[in-house]
Structure 1
Amino acid sequence: MGTLGSQSYPGAELDLFAEAVRWKAYFGDFLKPYLGKRVLEVGAGLGATTAVLCSGSEEEWWCLEPDAALLAQVETKIQRGDLPACCRPVRGVLADLPPLPQFDTILYIDVLEHIEDDRAELEAAAMRLQPRGHLIVLAPAFPALYSPFDRAIGHYRRYTRATLRALTPAQTRLLQLGYLD
């Protein structure tokens, strides 16, 4: 596996958002039907979303995270049994991964807005999907709401349905697109 040098996450809100378990369960109900046996969670952060979405019945759940301190918390949660044993912490970004394996599901939960070249990222992610796999994006909406808070935690943008639709990789088929709340 490739690793990143000293990339660290600029935000301090992850601890607070980790407590939003009802919110995560709410959106998780929409996502769970699309989760396969081999899942790649890009930007796993503290593992809070992993804890809600990963049932433990998956063959592998890769927790990809470029921030070493955040990934260490994921590792600790796996060791304590707070995350299922199928979880595999991996330091880096999508481009650091080897071309194989391919995944049934790739998740970007509140992550795509942190990636400068979101189009290239989704194209690369689509290439790592198994046939009939699912690429799932949950991202903040409405560019007019972009604020100093967004900037402070490393967001490049917010999205509309149209801007996300325009990013859909050509080799994929859009199944659902909408606003969650």
Structure 2
Amino acid sequence: MATPHRGSTFADNWIGRLGQRLIDLPSDMLEEVTRIATLSRGMFLLNPLQLKDELTSIRQLSPNSSLVKYMSELRGSPNVPVHSIIGDRGRNDTPNSSDGVVKYHSSHLDWSASEKIVPSGHSVQDDPASAVELRRILREHLVKVKGRKTLEEADAKAATPVWQANPSPPIILKRP
């Protein structure tokens, strides 16, 4: 949900730089990461001279981050299906859409088993359409693992699903 596989330019703008300055990593953590990186057969995913800046969560979201560049080249195992739930702020302008923080092209994976675009900002997990899609994905995999009969039995005993997104009141989700 709203995963920036290729980073977010938001991390490089003035708000991201300000947030990065507010983050102060413990020195023992910096020392340990430097020690591990030095022992990694000369392979550096992070620049050891800029370790403090590069290790912040905001910096790691930059499209220019070496970690983001490396991770964007990875592919998951075919045995582990990947699904994407992407927000577009309700503008319906995919592939030029954005959730306000992550652009569509950063969230989209060509090899994803499914992709659902919901009219939401970056807090896509708070959108009821995301809950319905997540439920669909989980049910799909439950059928593959347990079989249809087990799923129907579990459905008959299940409570009515509720989606709670603070601060709004709970939403009762309709059964498929």
TM-score, scaled to structure 2: 0.28
Q: Computing the radius of gyration over CA atoms, which structure comes out larger, 1 or 2? A: 2
Name whichever structure is richer in strand by fraction: 1
TM-score, scaled to structure 1: 0.27
Name whichever structure is richer in helix by fraction: 2
